[in-house]
Amino acid sequence: MAPDDSTVFRVADLSSVVVNLPDTHALVQLSEAEAPFRTLEFPIALTDAAAIMHAKESTVGIRPSTHELLAEIMNQSHTEIIALRITDRVDGTLHGELDVMSARGRFTVQCRPSDGLTLCLRQTVPAPILINAELFELT
Give mean pLDDT in consecutive 10-residue pieces for the chain, a chain of 139 residues: 78 94 92 94 95 92 89 93 96 95 95 96 93 85
Taking the C-alpha atoms of residue 108 and residue 106, their distance in angstroms, rounded to an integer, is: 7
Taking the C-alpha atoms of residue 107 and residue 24, their distance in angstroms, rounded to an integer, is: 35
* pLDDT value, residue 6: 86
* pLDDT value, residue 138: 64
Annotated domain spans of the chain = 9-137
- In the CATH hierarchy, which top-level class contains the domain 9-137? alpha beta
* pLDDT value, residue 85: 98
* pLDDT value, residue 2: 56
